[in-house]
Structure 1
Amino acid sequence: MTQPDPTPAMPRAQRRRVSKRLRRRRRLVISLATVLALIVLIGAGSYLYIRYRFGQIGHVSVGGLTAQSSGPENILLVGNNSRCTLTKYSSFYSKGSQHFGTCSEVGGGRSDVTMVLHVDPATHRAYLLSIPRDLWLPMPNGNGLELRVDDALNSAERPYLHLPFGPTLLVKTIEQDLGIPINHYVELNFYTFEQVVNTLGGVTLDFPTKLVDHYSGLNITTTGCQHLTGTQALALVRARHLYYYNPSTGTWDYDGTGDLGRIVRTHIFLRALASQVKSSALSNPITANALLGSLLPALKVDPSFSLSDMVSLALAFRHVNPGSIPSATLPVIIPSQSTFTDPANPSNYQAPGSIVMPWAQSDLSVIRQFLGSEAPNLNAIRPASVTVAVRDASGVGNGSQLVAGLSQLGFPTTNLGTATYAGTDSETVVAYKPGMLAQGERVLASLSGQAVLAEGSANQPADVVITAGSTIATTATSAQTAALTTTSAPTATLTATSTTTPPVGTLVTSTQSLQQLASSNLWQANASGSEFWWDPRLCPAHA
């Protein structure tokens, strides 16, 4: 027999309230489950999308990179001017060949643009340093051979000079000769640059006057703010044979600053490009997707630059305005109009104006400023702990003067006699034993003139061996101390000041002194001193 339910029957109104609460709970559970499922789907989709895009990036073998597990990083950004890699982009290749040559005319590929991006995720700060493409530097393991830094990438040189030209040689050259550790390598080409600009719908710049460069194809015929296509933008950043129209005289005047002036214009353009990316791509998923589709398939990076590295950097710098990143150009010397030969390769004659040279004090100061806290503590290295030997290749007795000056500063110094004469205008090479870069920089800080570092051999007769060139001297104690302590964070202009007047050539430490190289109207640059009056500038909306 069924027992009666001892619980009194629930009133109908109460049952309705309980049922309503249960239905609300079920709807809430279903809603939460739906949201959770959407989050999972979006997350999985985002992950798959990121993996897909990352898979489009090409990889290039790069040796010599400095391992970095945490902290600030230096990323080498290279604009490869290889014509041969553009043959698969037939329409672009045919269109541009008249201005930058064909594969058969210009073999191999050089680093037309060489920049180092210093990023510090902890402070969310970044700095950009341009290295002039014509900078004359010793090649690693080249037995004294010196070339322009852009040639280090040029594989077409391999059959003639028997060095491993390519990304590895370029990385080692910058690390060993300039003391800048490189953690990652990123490379773009002409076609990719043009496609990126076109995907963004072009870039707007303000032109105060007409500009022409028959080599790059630049032809700006009107003044004021105007929109540049990818082709026009490429012609602008490649222009180093520039003529500008002078309305006060009615003549076309030659800019005369070559690659150094081009670097100034490239920095201006990059600020405008960054503003365009921020205003269009970052706020429009469709444009952002198209931009990635244009950029990534032709991008090349080193294999160690992983997806997690890129995502971490993107997250760390997501609120940083790329257009506000301070930029600088490494100070250089413009050689005087005289004969220059390479003692390691006497047939390697360089015509006047075809190369630029390092300037010891300014270069060391700017590089230490660029690296900030990552720069070696040179004050901790006592001169008495570094042995120095000097060879004289100057032909004017500079070697003996260096021996006396360095000995007075406390370095145990010996005289190795004369070396092969390097010409009337030649740089000094400070070769340090492998693993003794800081000691080499310590000696370099005691020199003034056209001088550069180079990694020497393990069996060389001293920790540092100096081959003295035409313009070298030891510095005063105060100048030496200044070079050792310049490690503060870069300013917006990041320029250096020379402590010594160069005996030969023109020292270029800033745009103001760069103006001295042009042939006319040099002091009509704008008040900020950051650009020439005839160069383009940001339009008010992007300033």
Structure 2
Amino acid sequence: MTHQHQKKVVKSSKLRRRRRIVTVLAGFIVLVLILGIGGYVYVHYRYGQIGRVNVNGLTTQAAGGKPENILLVGDNSRCALKKYSSFYQKQHSHFGTCSQVGGGRSDVTMVLHLDPAKHSAYLLSIPRDLWMPMPGGHGLQLRVDDSLNSAEDSYLNLKFGPTMLVKAIQQDLGIPISHYVELNFYTFERVVNTLGGITIDFPTKLKDYYSGLNITHPGCQHLNGTQALALVRARHLYYYDPSTGTWKYDGTGDLGRIQRTHIFLRVLASEIKASALSNPLNANALLGSILPALKLDQGFTLSDLVSLALTYSHVNPGAIPTTTLPVIVPNGTFHDLANPSNYQAPGSIVLPYQPNDLTQISKFLGSSATNYQAVKPSSVTVSVRNGSGVNGEAQQTATALHALGYKIQSVSNATYAGSDSEAVVSYRPGDLAMGERVLSSLTGQAIMAQGPSSQSADVVLTTGSTFTVATPPSSASSSSSSSSSSGSASSAQSVTQLANTNLWSSSEPVSWWDPKACPSK
């Protein structure tokens, strides 16, 4: 072979190699484009499956990656489940039909606090039975879950729904809400079934005749979607006590259910993360189970979802800290005398308790909490109204607040709020910090509400049945002083006794009979 021929062969070989490289690169680019376009189409397809709900009054997230709060709602609407006919027919014997249980309530109400600076997440549960002033209700108070129930529109002359629920949480508890997310019973059951069930450890046998829960033996066992739904809905729980050989009533109602739900969600979240990460097909199936019944507020964009996924991708959902708002469980039947047609059976109403609630919420919000402590009492005018019916209580409360430095504008009477009621701190729109400052001066059953801009004082305090006003620091060591709003030690003692006997704290230990995660293999 001549030297010139060899050069031609080498040159030809190089050209073929270059063509192969160019072909491979071109193929790779085309593949990337196809996958990219396919991924784009897939993401938009899945995003398009999500339902929308109009929610007004949401708090716009501050620029610069500040913390935000997302309201997570489990809507128990039976009527909305009718379109899932087989599920509805199978389950309505346990949760009631559309005609039996009208409207929809927030069976689960949780706030997810996300802090991008720390890449952290925290979860706060608000008991569904928390008694709260309804925004725009002119003194009307209902359970927080009722604020979602549009079936009440006609006879209470208010517009109930997601906007009312968001406003109640923002105005009464001082928790800003950036976004709204809603799921229902059907979605929950489908997710568990898509995972192939979930394994939970039960220390003993459990029953709930209302939810259909029936755990027949202790130990780790696999639950399908129907059984899992029965567990998280259990509010009338009975447990088997092997030491006595008898069944006993749990008695914690929704508060105990919240704790069991926290445990269950940790296990479920860990299962979802493990399943989705291990197999794209599993991830696709889970999305198909969740998204069609998911509802987001109209401002929750695709870029918001992608940003959240990227920012918190390393957060272990099974290890997210959870807590419950501290509340008081009233004794006996609760009568709302301001609204005589409304009464509640024992255990179906819980009341806020200060300073525990305000402290817990401030801790939960972290750096985004309102700096109410910077508000000087001397800059706040307060009007006090007697809502307890106790003779002279408004004047005694005003005197105690004046001793703390507040400017008292007026003292008057209000509609009797009942023998077991909460003090209500009403502030003008935009003056939340002033409301929280006055609230921080109270101990006992008390909550905030946003009043009208026309109210003459910065804050209007309507007294309730069991609360005290803080003692001025200069008098704290004086034996003649009292922290009671009525000026008597008996009121302070009643508040202390109430806290000792009826306060359900977020730090309550889980009962021994409640389920837990199974040990890792």
Q: Does 1:42 align with 2:35?
A: yes
Alpha-carbon distance in structure 1 between the residues aligned to 2:29 and 2:393: 76
Q: Is the 8 A contact 1:393 1:468 kept in 2?
A: yes
Alpha-carbon distance in structure 2 between the residues aligned to 1:96 and 1:470: 42
SS of residue paired to 2:138: coil
Q: Does 1:368 align with 2:362?
A: yes
Name which of 535, 539, 542 aligns with 2:514: 535
Name which of 1, 5, 13 aligns with 1:20: 13
Letter in 1 for 2:503: L
Alpha-carbon distance in structure 2 between the residues aligned to 1:385 and 1:327: 36
Alpha-carbon distance in structure 1 between the residues aligned to 2:344 and 2:240: 31
Alpha-carbon distance in structure 2 between the residues aligned to 1:534 and 1:465: 45
SS of residue paired to 1:402: helix
Q: Does 1:296 align with 2:311?
A: no
Q: Does 1:124 align with 2:119?
A: yes
Between 1:63-72 and 1:466-475, the stretch displaced more is: 63-72
Deviations 1:254-273 (A, max 9, x none): 00000000000000000110
Q: Is the 8 A contact 1:338 1:425 kept in 2?
A: no
What is residue 57 of structure 1 aligned with on the other side? 50
Deviations 1:70-120 (A, max 9, x none): 422111111010110111111111111111111110000000000011112
Between 1:354-363 and 1:393-402, the stretch displaced more is: 393-402
Deviations 1:364-400 (A, max 9, x none): 0111111100001123211111111110111224322
Q: Is the 8 A contact 1:73 1:118 kept in 2?
A: yes
What is residue 133 of structure 1 aligned with on the other side? 128
What is residue 467 of structure 2 aligned with on the other side? 472
SS of residue paired to 2:286: helix
SS of residue paired to 2:340: strand
1:296-375 map, 5 Å = 296-337=291-332, 340-343=335-338, 345-375=339-369
What is residue 482 of structure 1 aligned with on the other side? none
Q: Is the 8 A contact 2:398 2:411 kept in 1?
A: no
The alpha-carbon distance between structure 1 residues 339 and 280, as it changes in their structure 2 partners (threshold 3 A), is closer
Deviations 1:409-455 (A, max 9, x none): 11112342221221211100000001111110111111111000100
What is residue 483 of structure 2 aligned with on the other side? none
Shift of 1:147: 0.2
Alpha-carbon distance in structure 1 between the residues aligned to 2:152 and 2:226: 29
Name which of 502, 506, 514 aligns with 2:502: 506
Q: Does 1:72 align with 2:67?
A: yes
What is residue 394 of structure 1 aligned with on the other side? 388
Alpha-carbon distance in structure 2 between the residues aligned to 1:501 and 1:213: 34
Q: Is the 8 A contact 1:448 1:472 kept in 2?
A: yes
Shift of 1:10: 7.0
Q: Is the 8 A contact 1:394 1:468 kept in 2?
A: yes
SS of residue paired to 2:55: coil
SS of residue paired to 2:520: helix
Show structure 1 runs of 5+ residues with no match: 1-8, 479-499, 513-528
Shift of 1:175: 0.5
Alpha-carbon distance in structure 2 between the residues aligned to 1:410 and 1:147: 33
Alpha-carbon distance in structure 2 between the residues aligned to 1:379 and 1:420: 31
What is residue 520 of structure 1 aligned with on the other side? none
Q: Is the 8 A contact 1:146 1:342 kept in 2?
A: no
Letter in 2 for 1:353: G
TM-score (norm 2): 0.92
Deviations 1:318-338 (A, max 9, x none): 121100100000010111226
Letter in 1 for 2:511: F
Shift of 1:406: 1.3
1:93-172 map, 5 Å = 93-172=88-167
Give me the CA root mean square deviation.
1.6
Shift of 1:339: 5.1
Q: Does 1:463 align with 2:442?
A: no
Alpha-carbon distance in structure 2 between the residues aligned to 1:469 and 1:437: 20
SS of residue paired to 2:222: strand
What is residue 277 of structure 2 aligned with on the other side? 282
Between 1:54-63 and 1:15-24, the stretch displaced more is: 15-24
SS of residue paired to 1:142: coil
Q: Does 1:262 align with 2:257?
A: yes
Q: Is the 8 A contact 1:204 1:226 kept in 2?
A: yes
Between 1:117-126 and 1:47-56, the stretch displaced more is: 117-126
Alpha-carbon distance in structure 1 between the residues aligned to 2:345 and 2:191: 36
Name which of 371, 375, 379 aligns with 1:377: 371
Alpha-carbon distance in structure 2 between the residues aligned to 1:503 and 1:226: 40
Shift of 1:502: 5.0
SS of residue paired to 2:341: strand
Alpha-carbon distance in structure 2 between the residues aligned to 1:428 and 1:272: 39
What is residue 476 of structure 2 aligned with on the other side? none
Letter in 1 for 2:291: L
Letter in 2 for 1:386: V
Letter in 2 for 1:376: T
Q: Does 1:83 align with 2:62?
A: no
Shift of 1:466: 0.4
Shift of 1:347: 2.5
Shift of 1:509: 1.4
SS of residue paired to 1:360: coil
Alpha-carbon distance in structure 1 between the residues aligned to 2:12 and 2:21: 14
Alpha-carbon distance in structure 1 between the residues aligned to 2:150 and 2:73: 15
1:162-201 map, 5 Å = 162-201=157-196
Alpha-carbon distance in structure 2 between the residues aligned to 1:263 and 1:405: 37
Letter in 2 for 1:105: Q
Alpha-carbon distance in structure 2 between the residues aligned to 1:511 and 1:326: 12
Q: Is the 8 A contact 1:398 1:473 kept in 2?
A: no
Letter in 1 for 2:115: D
Q: Is the 8 A contact 2:337 2:416 kept in 1?
A: no
Letter in 2 for 1:432: Y
The alpha-carbon distance between structure 1 residues 42 and 502, as it changes in their structure 2 partners (threshold 3 A), is farther
Alpha-carbon distance in structure 1 between the residues aligned to 2:80 and 2:373: 47
Q: Is the 8 A contact 1:449 1:502 kept in 2?
A: no
Shift of 1:541: 1.7
1:210-225 map, 5 Å = 210-225=205-220
Q: Is the 8 A contact 1:81 1:112 kept in 2?
A: yes
Q: Is the 8 A contact 2:333 2:344 kept in 1?
A: no
Q: Is the 8 A contact 2:381 2:406 kept in 1?
A: yes
The alpha-carbon distance between structure 1 residues 212 and 463, as it changes in their structure 2 partners (threshold 3 A), is same
Deviations 1:25-59 (A, max 9, x none): 22222212211111111111111100000000000
